[in-house]
Amino acid sequence: MLRATTLGLFGPLLLAQAASSTRTPPNSPPLNQTTSSTRGVGKEGDCQEVDKLPTKAFEPSGLSLRPSDGTLWAIDDNGFLAVYDSASMALMYDQIATGLDDLEGLTFGPDTDMVYLAQEFPPTIFEFNVVHRALTGRSVELPGFGGDASHGMEGLAYAPPLDAFLAANQDTGHVLLYKVDFEAGAAVLTMDYDLGWKEDASGLSWDPVNEWAVALSDSNNEMVAFDLADGSIYWREDVPYDGQEGIAVEAGSVYIANDDGKNANVRKLRVKEDFSVDKDCF
């Protein structure tokens, strides 16, 4: 039975268990329902690879769609950002230096001029201004995360309903929820989601259409959509290829970053009505 653990600030832990391994999705449009501003199943722009990576050494380890303009942002282990047009998958900007290394994820927050960068170990979130292309000087180390330099934070996603950050733990396979105060430089662990993986939670994304979180696992070759309230699973689907280290979702599509050396790539895959990846894409 899957379990989400709520971590109280004062007093004992409160355990909330899901009644079953899956949960009926809420009354919201499916991933492939489109509007005038989104691309859906079967439309031009699906099932693509990026036209190129910035350099041969660029191994994408995290992805995030910028809400204000729909651009797709990628980060590599060595601290460089690349920006793609999410419709054509054409490279727009490359080799934007962050001044950091050991980066494994990124996410945009409520201010879309700011992107938040996940350092693997010690597990730390850094704030980066994409307009000025510079760190703001604000960062927060995540308490109670655990792990080590080889098995630390592998993914990051901002969850707007809770104004909080989700962090993927490679060591345990869990996803942790933190309330973060960048002004004070502090974070509080509020939830521990057990998605049924023993290790290797490798990527995270927030789905703004369906309002659920989507986690990715490299060694398990799958992605899982789950509820923020109690960790209930909406669906669990296989993900193709190897080295899946980053994920971003939008209506009808899922973007996957593969960080596996010579086969490193970023791919846009079509998602069917049952949320499975369309096999015509690979």
Please give, one letter per residue, the 3-state secondary structure of the chain. Answer: CCEEEECCCCCCCEEEECCCCCCCCCCCCCCCCCCCCCCCCCCCCCCEECCCCCCCCCCEEEEEECCCCCCEEEEECCCEEEEECCCCCCEEEEEEECCCCCEEEEEECCCCCEEEEEECCCCEEEEEECCCCEEEEEEEECCCCCCECCECEEEEEEEHHHCEEEEEECCCCCEEEEEEECCCCEEEEEEEEECCCCCCEEEEEEECCCCEEEEEECCCCEEEEECCCCCCEEEEEECCCCCEEEEEEECCEEEEEECCHHHCEEEEEEECCCCCECHHHC
Residue 151: inside a domain, yes or no?
A: yes
Q: Would you say residue 43 has pLDDT above 70?
A: no
Taking residues 13-28, what's their average pLDDT?
41
Q: Would you say residue 58 has pLDDT above 50?
A: yes
More confident call, 273 vs 195: 195
The answer for residues whose C-beta is within 8 angstroms of residue 48's C-beta and 6 or more apart is 88, 89, 267, 268
Residue 260: inside a domain, yes or no?
A: yes
Range of weakest confidence among 22-36, 74-88, 171-185, 190-204: 22-36
Q: Are 65 and 257 in contact (CB under 8 A)?
A: no
* Residue 103, phi then psi, degrees to nearest 5: -95, 135
Residue 121: inside a domain, yes or no?
A: yes
Residue 51: inside a domain, yes or no?
A: yes
Taking residues 225-248, what's their average pLDDT?
95
Taking residues 19-29, what's their average pLDDT?
45
Q: Would you say residue 34 has pLDDT above 60?
A: no
Q: What is the Cα–Cα distance from 80 to 76, expressed in whole angstroms?
A: 6
Taking residues 234-256, what's their average pLDDT?
93
Task: Give me the pLDDT at residue 260, please.
Answer: 78
In this prediction, residue 6 has a pLDDT band, given cuts at 50, 70 and 90, of low
Q: Are 50 and 264 in contact (CB under 8 A)?
A: no
Q: Would you say residue 166 has pLDDT above 90?
A: yes
Residue 39: inside a domain, yes or no?
A: no
- For the chain, the domain total comes to 1
Please tell me the pTM assigned to this model.
Answer: 0.87
- Closest Cα to residue 151, out of 220, 201, 80? 201
Q: Would you say residue 142 has pLDDT above 90?
A: yes
Residue 20: inside a domain, yes or no?
A: no
Our measurement of the distance from residue 172's CA atom to the centroid of its chain's CA atoms, rounded to an integer in Å, reads 17
Q: Whole-number mean pLDDT of the chain? A: 86
pLDDT in tens, 187-213: 999 999 999 999 999 999 999 999 999
**CATH assignment at residue 202:** 2.130.10.10
Q: Are 223 and 252 in contact (CB under 8 A)?
A: no
Residue 31: inside a domain, yes or no?
A: no
Residue 28: inside a domain, yes or no?
A: no
- Closest Cα to residue 155, out of 103, 79, 224, 104? 104
What six digits make up the tokens of 201?
Answer: 């939670």
Domain span including residue 194: 3-12+46-281
More confident call, 85 vs 7: 85
Q: 36: phi > 0 → left, psi -120 to 50 → alpha, else beta; which?
A: alpha
